[in-house]
Amino acid sequence: MNKKIKTALVCGAGGFIGSHLVKRLKKEGYWVRGSDLKYPVFSKTHADDFIIGDLTDSKIVEKVVDQNFTEIYQLAADMGGAGFVFTGENDADLMTNSCLINLNILNRLKKYPPNKIFYSSSACMYPERNQLDPNNPVCSEDSAYPAAPDSEYGWEKLFSERLYLAYLRNYKIEARIARYHNIFGPEGTWFGGREKSPAALCRKVVEAQNNSSIEVWGDGKQTRSFLFIDECIEGTRRLMQSNFKEAINIGSEEMIAINDLASMVIKISGKNLKIKNIDGPTGVRGRNSDNTLIKKQLSWAPNCKLEDGIKKTYQWITEQHQMLQKSHKKAA
Ligand code: NAD
């Protein structure tokens, strides 16, 4: 391999954000190795090399991290939307698996340190007490402590943030940490129980007969902000190029109530549908990215309109749904 070529390892390259990131790194001229339990589901990987394996197994991590990569992006995690994270049914597995992945990788970097490693934390690590008012959630980076996330997923993210910072201090591993806020877009999971609300709502609207209704979990007044995948990747690359060494929000500040998001999707579809609010796992009452720090540190912040991203996602899920229908018909 030409020594001058920049090399990147993307852990979680079979997942939603990882597969988009691989495409971006390839466009930028990197040689890319991906690793995951699976290949991307919705398109072929663009990685030069792909190792299928379980990163909770240190022997697999030895194979995957066998050189000093220029950059490593650690996105692999056992995760999903509210239906996966907030029911409590997956807590032990998701904490064990995600911790083991991070421990194995960082431990291996003592032998093969990269120039930089990126870790994808989550807004789920913010304390519940600051997210009780749906209209005024506080998610500035300095509000993280005293810690009190509302899910074990959030606690694991917080622990792992600290783990990366400890390796930075003690082993000079140059870590960059993003707290992602609800990333969505084409090629994200859209059925099966791990999908997030934008994809779930798009799917429900696509599947609904005209003049019927769709179900929305909770009272629908809970608020969130959603970041389109292209801006997530842009923010990730900018953070990696920066010298900022603390955890930072990568999210949108365009907060919306879930019922209003559902209405947005319905409007895009052109269908006449009612919203039926039902009991379901919802997480905190309000959450929004605070982009003060990213604007200061990276002189950049996402500014894509939510509706533009939802239109693209709705279109993609419509196509996926049609393809699935066709293949079911063929199989019948
Ligand atoms: P994803 O589930 O699509 O991708 C994660 C990938 O990790 C999956 O492909 C999965 O197969 C892989 N993985 C899980 N366990 C593994 C194991 N033991 N060995 C190897 N691979 C394993 O999720 P995503 O949306 O692409 O998220 C990527 C990262 O960003 C995750 O760490 C997630 O916690 C974080 N994050 C995502 C969001 C979001 O809204 N999508 C928000 C906050 C944080």
283-325 pLDDT, tens per residue? 899 999 999 999 999 999 999 999 999 999 999 999 999 999 9
What does each C-alpha distance from 289 to 150, 256, 301 come to in angstroms? Answer: 17, 12, 11
54 lines ligand 1 (CB under 6 A): yes
Q: What is the pLDDT of residues 209-254, one digit of tens each?
A: 999 999 999 999 999 999 999 999 999 999 999 999 999 999 999 9
Residue 73: active-site member? no
Give the total residue count for the chain: 332
Ligand 1 atom index nearest CA of 38: 11
Instruction: DSSP letter for 87, please.
Output: S
Q: Which tens digits make up the pLDDT trace of 62-86?
A: 999 999 999 999 999 998 877 888 8
Q: Which CATH class is domain 7-183+226-250?
A: alpha beta
How far apart are the CA of 208 and the centre of ligand 1, in A? 29
In the chain, the percentage of residues whose pLDDT exceeds 70 is 99
In 3D, which of 313, 114, 306, 289 has the Cα closest to residue 206?
313
**Ligand 1 pocket member 74 (CB < 6 A):** no
At 248 the pLDDT is 98
Q: In the predicted model, is pLDDT for residue 2 greater than 60?
A: no
Residue nearest to atom 1 of ligand 1 (CA): 15
Cα 132 from Cα 126, distance rounded (Å) = 12
Return the CATH class of domain 188-225+256-287+305-322: alpha beta
Q: Give the global pTM.
A: 0.96
What does pLDDT average to over the chain? 96
Which residues on neighbouring strands pair with residue 231, listed in sequence order?
A: none
Instruction: Spell out the domain ranges in the chain.
Output: 7-183+226-250, 188-225+256-287+305-322
pLDDT at 1: 52
Both tokens of 129, joined, read 């007490």
* Beta-carbon contacts of residue 297 (< 8 Å; ≥ 6 apart): 242, 244, 248
